[in-house]
């Protein structure tokens, strides 16, 4: 099967929007070229619209979503700080590891995989640790297909604790309100619902978070991800920091344009419609859904296979015979579950029809 025929329905990357593919054919620009800087500024403006924020420090970090995670932690945390982290999947666990490597004292608030975090338990943990520097949570847990409720955590605005949210799988796919929910630091990835190849991590910091960066006692442990330095490049000073991945930023500009041309609410509704249809179709075929009702992501479905089906063999058949990529389970779901993504340009009715039809033929 030629690589050009892949239908990417795993947990990422998703198929790029046609506008994104076309953007890669444009002439390459230098990272200080005035024409590129104009595109960069408009990309940051488009990110503000999609993040639903007016934050001045909003930009694409050079690197994947994990670079966005690390940028947030290394800029906001100093050794000895207390960090509260909600954990109900792989990426909550990863937050704990990154915070630990920054020298933080990590306070975990755990929930079973497949269940959503209780916002009140997170707020209770902050009341027990009022000096906590950061409370962090994953909005869309990619390992389980669970959407965690972030909006109640806006109560942290009345405290000194900053709210940090991972929106790698949620940005552009489900409602997200950075300003409305009181989110201080937020990072995402390009390869999911934004319909752009992997390589950039959209990020936004509130004024509270920026102040925390500027009042650190020591510089961040990462020079490359130091937002105090990067901010001088994306801001008015245009001070050189590192060579920005200009082609990727032009592609992100195009992907954000595709989302905004459709309309953000319309994109959310499209992801919801196709995700619901897929989940209903899987249940009809005898599959079971892992995420608890009321907290199921439409763009990322975690599902257990019917008894007696070898998930690795069936995944290989889908890839080699149909050109369809889906993802295997992570952690405790490895070998018994799939993660199916309907994100960005892949979030189409034809994707659902193609996948369900292939499964019916094989099963």
- pLDDT at site 1: 42
Sign for the CA dihedral angle at 178, 268, 187, 81 comes to: positive
Question: By C-alpha distance, which of 231, 224, 191 is closest to 209?
Answer: 231
Q: Which has the minimum average pLDDT: 104-113, 156-165, 306-315?
A: 306-315
Place 16 in a pLDDT band, splitting at 50, 70 and 90. very high
**Angstrom distance (rounded) from CA 53 to CA 47:** 8
Alpha carbons 100 and 134: distance in angstroms, whole number = 13
Question: Global pTM?
Answer: 0.96
Q: Looking at residue 163, what is its pLDDT?
A: 98
**Mean pLDDT of the 340-354 span:** 98
Q: Enumerate domains of the chain plus CATH numbers.
A: 3-13+264-362 (3.90.1150.10), 18-260 (3.40.640.10)
Whether residue 257 has pLDDT greater than 80: yes
At 27-54, the pLDDT tens digits run 999 999 999 999 999 999 999 999 999 9
For the segment 317-326, the average pLDDT, to the nearest whole number, is 96
The model's pLDDT over 67-83, given as tens digits with 9 standing for 90+, comes to 999 999 999 999 999 99
Examine the pLDDT at 4 and tell me if it is beyond 70. Answer: no
- Among 55, 68, 58, 43, which Cα is nearest to 225's? 68
237 pLDDT above the threshold of 90: no
* Sign of the C-alpha dihedral computed for residues 188, 191, 195 and 201 taken in this order: positive
For residue 282, pLDDT over 80 is answered with: yes
Percent of the chain at pLDDT > 90 equals: 96
Instruction: Tell me what the mean pLDDT of segment 1-28 comes to.
Output: 90
Mean pLDDT calculated for residue range 205-217: 96
Contacts 24+ apart (CB under 8 A), 4-7: 5/323, 6/323, 6/324, 6/325, 7/322, 7/323, 7/324, 7/325, 7/346, 7/351, 7/354, 7/355
Task: Classify the phi-psi angles of 195: left when phi > 0, otherwise alpha if psi is within -120 to 50, otherwise beta.
Answer: left
* 126-185 residue pLDDT tens: 999 999 999 999 999 999 999 999 999 999 999 999 999 999 999 999 999 999 999 999
What's residue 3's pLDDT?
53
The yes-or-no verdict on residue 332 having pLDDT over 50 is yes
pLDDT at 6: 93
């Amino acid at each position: 099967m030629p690589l050009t025929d892949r239908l990417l329905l795993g947990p990422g990357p998703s198929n790029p929007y046609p506008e994104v593919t076309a953007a890669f054919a444009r002439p390459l620009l230098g990272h200080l070229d005035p024409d590129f800087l104009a595109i960069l500024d408009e990309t940051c403006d488009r990110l503000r619209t999609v993040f639903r924020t007016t934050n001045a420090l909003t930009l694409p970090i050079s690197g994947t979503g994990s670079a966005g995670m690390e940028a947030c932690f290394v800029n906001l945390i100093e050794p000895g700080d207390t960090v509260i982290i909600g954990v109900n999947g792989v990426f909550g666990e990863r937050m704990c590891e990154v915070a630990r490597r920054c020298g933080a004292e990590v306070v975990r608030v755990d929930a079973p995989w497949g269940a959503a975090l209780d916002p009140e338990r997170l707020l209770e943990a902050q009341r027990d640790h009022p000096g906590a520097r950061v409370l962090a949570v994953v909005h869309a847990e990619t390992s389980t297909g669970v959407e965690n409720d972030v909006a109640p955590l806006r109560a942290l605005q009345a405290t000194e604790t900053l709210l940090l949210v991972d929106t790698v799988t949620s940005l552009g796919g489900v409602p997200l309100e950075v300003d409305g929910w009181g989110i201080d630091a937020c990072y995402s990835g390009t390869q999911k619902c934004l319909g752009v190849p992997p390589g950039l991590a959209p990020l936004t910091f509130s004024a509270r978070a920026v102040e925390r960066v500027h009042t650190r006692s020591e510089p961040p442990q990462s020079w490359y991800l130091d937002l105090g330095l990067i901010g001088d490049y994306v801001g008015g000073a245009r001070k050189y920091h590192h060579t920005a991945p200009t082609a990727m930023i032009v592609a992100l500009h195009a992907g954000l344009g595709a989302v905004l041309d459709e309309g953000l609410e319309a994109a959310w509704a499209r992801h919801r419609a196709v995700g619901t249809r897929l989940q209903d179709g899987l249940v009809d075929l005898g599959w079971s859904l892992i995420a608890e009702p009321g907290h199921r992501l439409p763009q990322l479905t975690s599902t257990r296979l019917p008894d007696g089906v070898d998930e690795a063999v069936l995944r290989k058949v889908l890839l080699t015979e149909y050109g369809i990529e889906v993802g295997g389970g992570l952690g405790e779901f490895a070998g018994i579950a799939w993660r199916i993504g309907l994100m960005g340009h892949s979030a189409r009715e034809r994707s659902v029809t193609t996948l369900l039809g292939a499964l019916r033929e094989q099963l």
